[in-house]
Structure 1
Amino acid sequence: MHENYSTTSSPRMPRSLPGFEDVKRYWDKTNDIFSAKILPGEFYVTANDELITTVLGSCVSVCIRDRIFGIGGMNHFMLPHDNSGTGSWVASDNVSVSTRYGTYAMEHMINEILKNGGNRKNFEVKVFGGGRILANMTDVGIKNINFR
């Protein structure tokens, strides 16, 4: 059992950082910890001891945490770049429109971690996903893995 939560009463959900109130969060009974589930085009940053989860195929999730200050997050992007030429990421107030692309998803998440007390020199990074889902289709997964 996680030391911050009592088995005698139902756990109290920690407050989310500003801007992340709409992310689905719940008590994960299997792991005895609060969990945030992010969907494609979303990202989540927390300073709490929380699990962040998603489901991937060709999409990629990058997890970053400041190993000293304990703040970190996860994103879930679908494509490496916005090649539409429309600049739709600028025209929308909805961050998830832009964060479905790796270039913007990384920028938004890193900026939120820094804004909430993280320090780049302490970052640990893990990358997941990029699967090839359909053999006869374009390999979006490898494009996501190789994005810069």
Structure 2
Amino acid sequence: MSALAARRIPIIQGEHAVVREPDAIISTLLGSCIAVCLHDAEARIGGMNHFLLGEPQADQQLRDVDLQRYGVHAMELLINAMMKAGAERSRLRANLYGGANIIAGLGGIGSANAAFAKRFLTTEGITVGQSDTGGTLARKVEFRPYDGKVRCKTVADRPLPPPITPRIPAGCGEIELF
């Protein structure tokens, strides 16, 4: 498969995609969010989701539009879409990415998201293969659903260039108000 010929399917927070095409790549960029890649090797189907938080607080009132932000909903959508496309639940294998603690003041939200995803997959009896979570850097994930291959790269912080101090020509440093 040529990387240039591949059909790219970018997903963002609250989205998922399920594909069985040999030339498709699902991609996303993660910070504290989580992406779960599911694959059924026999059916050659794969899917990825991207969610912001694990699950809402017990007393939290949610509108339907808010559900897509939560892993508990996103995981059900992804699993159901995989099965609708022809995957067998018993053959599903997962890879897990993201969950960085990028902003110190958020109290480890990335770690909590990763813990939720692992707990959910264990409870559902879905085996986790690769897992790249935690740390403090964002990640770019590219998933080939047909063969289940994943590439995950951290996105290093790029330092800002030093501020430019304007040069003031000699004799031009005075301001005259009129």
TM over 0.5: yes
Q: Per-residue displacement from partner, 1:66-105 (whole Å, max 9, x unpaired)?
A: 110011100000000122621323xx4xxxx422201000
Identity of aligned residues (%): 35
For residues 10-52 of structure 1, what are the alpha-carbon distances to aligned partners after superposition, in whole Å with 9 as ceiling and x for unaligned? xxxxxxxxxxxxxxxxxx63xx311100011111111212111
Q: Distance in 2 between matches of 1:137 and 1:65?
A: 32
Match of 1:82 in 2: 56
1:107 to 76, 80, 86: 76
Q: Give the match for residue 150 of structure 2.
A: none
Letter aligned with residue 111 of structure 1: N
CA distance in 1, matches of 2:51, 2:96: 11
Give yes or no for the alignment of 1:48 onto 2:21.
yes
* Alpha-carbon distance between aligned partners in 2 of 1:76 and 1:100, rounded to the nearest angstrom: 8
Residue 99 of structure 2 corresponds to which residue in structure 1? 130
Task: Work out the CA distance in 2 between the residues paired with 1:86 and 1:39.
Answer: 24
Q: Which runs of 4+ in 1 moved over 6 A?
A: none
Quick check: which one's strand share is greater? 2
Match of 1:21 in 2: none
AA of the residue aligned to 1:88: R
Please give the secondary structure, in 1, of the residue aligned with 2:103: coil
Secondary structure of residue in 2 paired with 1:54: strand
Of structures 1 and 2, the larger Rg is shown by 2
In the TM superposition, what is the alpha-carbon distance from 1:65 to its structure 2 partner?
Answer: 1.0
State TM-score, norm by structure 1: 0.72
Normalising by the residue count of structure 2, what TM-score does the alignment of the two structures yield?
A: 0.60
Q: Which residue of 2 aligns with 1:12?
A: none
1:64 CA drift (Å): 0.1
Q: CA deviation at 1:115?
A: 1.0
Q: Structure 2, unaligned stretches of length 5 or more? A: 121-178
Count of residue correspondences: 115
State the one-letter code of the partner of 1:146: A
Match of 1:64 among 38, 59, 82: 38
- 3-state secondary structure, aligned to 1:145: helix
SS at match of 1:143: helix
User: How far apart are the structure 1 equivalents of 2:109 and 2:101?
Assistant: 7
